[in-house]
Structure 1
Amino acid sequence: MKALLQLATRNVLRQRGRSWMTLLAIAFGVVALILAGGFIKDTVDELGESMIRSQSGHLQVNRAGYREQGSRDPSAYLIEEPEALRKALASIPEVEEVLLRSVFSGLLNNGRTDWAIIGEGVEPDAETRLGTYINVSAGRQLTDADPYGLMLGAGVAQALDLQPGDWVDLLTNTTDGAVNVLEFQVVGIFQTFSKDYDARAVRIPLSAAQALLGDAGVHLAVLRLSRTDATSATQQAAEAALAGEGFEVLDWKRLNPFYEQTVALYRQQFGFLVLVILLMVSLSVGNTINMSVYERAAEFGTMQACGAPRREIARLILLESALLGIAGATLGVVAGNGLALLISWIGIPMPPPPNSDIAYIALVRLAWWITGVSFLIGLLAPIVAALRPARRAARADIADSLRQAV
């Protein structure tokens, strides 16, 4: 095997022109996969982070059944002792902060017309630390110093023609069924990744929401974690800590089903891209290998005439292709990762995605699995392309092969 490896290495180095053509074809395919995979990974990661850091947080805790029946009777699913729940959740590792929210529906009036809204009573400063992906398009963020301040989704502001500084009336039902109304001043207008959310969303301080609803309870506890990768483990820890108390813990993926659908779509697209590039590289490399095997027919005939087994001819061709694959894939990995870093440093301006008004800067994210898959494709492509030529060369008649040297 050592002698065969030395011979294959010499043959690769001897045919420098064809070897470089093959290397470049393989490297091009590997670079394309790394860049495409990194771009898709960035898109998926940014979508997930935008959902986490503009609306849902990493985890949400609520009374069991709230998601299914809470819209009919939200008062039945209030968490009456939110501070005790906050304390229990805050002790879990990886939990950086526990935010409390009250959710309600109502009507917003600008003095001329009403607009149906979905309101959230939030802890302003804590929400600012969580909502790093929220774009404040006018005004400023809500703060704890705004007892009757209000932030509007961009769609609500447009529908009611409101600007920061305007005063509005917010009308809703209390937990007892009575009608209550409070006056708020608009301090800011925000945009998230979802236009549908922005078309109905209104945020006010939690204390104002509790006064409006006439109850000191909350509907949700939102967990902000130190890192997104810890979501699953933290969810299990939270479920164990709250076992038997009638709570359910939902992660951000379940809270945002659109994310899973998007991930499934991109996975299929990347899988199809892998197959296309594998086919293209195999065809490109296969043409070069076919020409090489045809021109070296006399060489292979001489080897057989000197006693080399037919299978050794096939092994030699496949080994040469594997060496080219290793070299080309390595070159492609180095070039692809280098280009990914360069492109990420420059950034790719992207238009707003569907159902959003916010443009963003895309990157090409590096990941070991993308690099591994790309390297494997670069290695396998020349080997797959060499299978048929190697078989044909091994089965060729010795006399016919030698006759090509004449």
Structure 2
Amino acid sequence: MLVKLAWRNLWRQKRRTILTAAALALALCLSLLTRSFQEGSYNANIDNAARFYTGLIQLQDPDYADNASIDDLLSANLDDFAYLKSEPSIEYILPRLESVALAAAGERSKGVMVLGVNPELEDRYSGVSEKVSQGRFRFDSDSLKGSSVLIGEGLAKYLRLEVGDEIILYGQGYQGQTASGLYTVNGLLKFPVMSLDNRLVYMPISEAQRLYSTGNQLTSWVLHTQTLSDVDSVEASLTDHFGDDIRIRDWKDLSPEMAQQIEMDRAGGIFLIYLLYGIVGFGLFATVMMMTLERQREFAVMLAAGMSRGKLVSLLFIESSFICILGIALGIAVAMPILGYFYFNPIHITGEAAKVMLEAGFEPILPVYLNLGLIINQALAVTLMLLICLIGPTWKVLRLNLVSALKGGGHDH
């Protein structure tokens, strides 16, 4: 009976009901758009950094994880880590040998990150061949000069190198041996993240092992999970299996600066959403309170007819629940087509804003993140906002003076 009565009451004042639902829909729509663009940008940049550099998870020697020494290595034989193949959430398993070197060309030099990779696996994983802006994705081998390499456009610009020029790499190899080699630049890579574009050198892992004299060893096994949400469970599973013999590190541990930037930006976005909810909430509170004050005589008649105050409050909550459901449905109905369009057509940022994002280590695009959990969280936030707004009207109903309300005054006890 209360449900039927609540539904009829809603449409006695259609304009008021629609106005209240529209306020909830606006708050939900704006919050969904904001959070979806935010999380989409984070996921895209985490994925970029992972595919072109860190991976989502790495297996490392415990000592290497602490000091990044080329002396603390793992076996390059995947059969020694057969458990990785049994984990269904792991999509890619890649060998990498990573170390630092001094790159020199002419009178210029710069510290670089040398990344020894399996070219075929790496290309399937990160599509690195599609990032070649000049030259070709090819590693030629020469017994006198060593192999060819691929370098970032930013590094090539600093060292004033072009395709076909030579670059010298010099550093320290395995157990104190000298690492030095002369390489031909076979291609320039345009990385979406500037920090990589300015310092990364790609070469075949076999050539990196020769350069650093590591033998059949590498610095890490790089893993990529099916989804970003799988990282925590896979990390826990691997930690349980390998124990203290192998250090398992996720992308947050491998890229703490990016993780911190994302957390700070996410906190700022959530604060703005709370601010939005606060502004909409004040208007919603005023609407709900006005609705309650206008109906004091109606409430008094219902109380005089024998309805308990508890049932009257329940009626108010049921009416508000209908409005809340209507607002959430309307908000999702408006937001989803917009999010769907930008999911398939992400916004590409240009100009100074793009430069600022690149310098901060983010790719200048605004992709959309679609996730049921995100929608549920924002719907719950809108529901909570409405419940808070009902505190005042509920108190008003519980304190309603029956005689005064019947006379039209509606004063409290």
TM bucket normalised to smaller: 0.7 to 0.9
Paired position in structure 2 for 1:107: 102
Q: Secondary structure at the match of 1:105?
A: strand
Give distance in 2, aligned partners of 1:394 and 1:133: 67
C-alpha contact 2:103 2:111 (8 A) present in aligned 1: yes
Paired position in structure 1 for 2:287: 288
Stretches of structure 2 that go unaligned for 5 or more consecutive residues are: none
Identical-residue share of aligned pairs (%): 22
User: Which string of whole-angstrom CA distances, capped at 9 and with x for unpartnered residues, describes residues 230-255 of structure 1?
Assistant: 434444554566557x4323223321
Deviates more, 1:322-331 or 1:359-368: 359-368
- Aligned partner of 2:120: which letter? D
Give the TM-score taking structure 1 as reference length: 0.85
Give distance in 1, aligned partners of 2:76 and 2:120: 18
Paired position in structure 2 for 1:19: 17
Residue pairs, 1:210-359, within 5 angstroms: 210-225=209-224, 227-228=226-227, 229-236=229-236, 238-239=238-239, 242=242, 246-350=245-349, 351-352=354-355, 353-355=357-359, 359=363
Stretches of structure 1 that go unaligned for 5 or more consecutive residues are: none
Q: CA deviation at 1:28?
A: 0.7
Distance 1:154 1:58, change over 3 A: same
Paired position in structure 2 for 1:34: 32
User: Which string of whole-angstrom CA distances, capped at 9 and with x for unpartnered residues, describes residues 100-140 of structure 1?
Assistant: 33333333232333333232222222222222378736325
Residue pairs, 1:2-401, within 5 angstroms: 3-71=1-69, 74=70, 76-79=71-74, 81-83=75-77, 88=82, 91-94=85-88, 95-132=90-127, 136=131, 138-140=133-135, 142-145=137-140, 148-175=147-174, 177=176, 179=178, 181-225=180-224, 227-228=226-227, 229-236=229-236, 238-239=238-239, 242=242, 246-350=245-349, 351-352=354-355, 353-355=357-359, 359-401=363-405
User: Which string of whole-angstrom CA distances, capped at 9 and with x for unpartnered residues, describes residues 71-105 of structure 1?
Assistant: 4xx2x3244x4225566366333445543333333
Equivalent pairs counted in the alignment come to 398
Distance 1:238 1:145, change over 3 A: farther
Deviates more, 1:7-16 or 1:247-256: 247-256
- Aligned partner of 2:383: which letter? L
C-alpha contact 1:53 1:134 (8 A) present in aligned 2: no
Deviates more, 1:136-145 or 1:19-28: 136-145
Deviates more, 1:49-58 or 1:348-357: 348-357
Q: Secondary structure at the match of 1:46?
A: helix
C-alpha contact 2:96 2:222 (8 A) present in aligned 1: no
Deviates more, 1:84-93 or 1:54-63: 84-93
Distance 1:78 1:5, change over 3 A: closer
Deviates more, 1:374-383 or 1:7-16: 374-383
- Aligned partner of 2:82: which letter? A
- Aligned partner of 2:231: which letter? T
C-alpha contact 1:325 1:382 (8 A) present in aligned 2: yes
Give distance in 1, aligned partners of 2:195 and 2:394: 59
Q: Secondary structure at the match of 1:308?
A: coil
Give the TM-score taking structure 2 as reference length: 0.84
User: Which string of whole-angstrom CA distances, capped at 9 and with x for unpartnered residues, describes residues 313-346 of structure 1?
Assistant: 3333333222211221222223222321133233
Alignment RMSD: 3.0
C-alpha contact 1:123 1:144 (8 A) present in aligned 2: no
User: Which string of whole-angstrom CA distances, capped at 9 and with x for unpartnered residues, describes residues 354-378 of structure 1?
Assistant: 5357754323322122211222233
User: Which string of whole-angstrom CA distances, capped at 9 and with x for unpartnered residues, describes residues 244-301 of structure 1?
Assistant: 7x43232233212134323432443354344333323322222222222222232223
- Aligned partner of 1:399: which letter? V
Q: CA deviation at 1:16?
A: 0.6
C-alpha contact 1:98 1:221 (8 A) present in aligned 2: no
- Aligned partner of 1:11: which letter? N
Q: Secondary structure at the match of 1:91?
A: helix
Deviates more, 1:395-404 or 1:40-49: 395-404
Give distance in 2, aligned partners of 1:332 and 1:47: 28
Give distance in 2, aligned partners of 1:268 and 1:176: 45
Q: CA deviation at 1:166?
A: 1.4
Give distance in 2, aligned partners of 1:267 and 1:310: 43
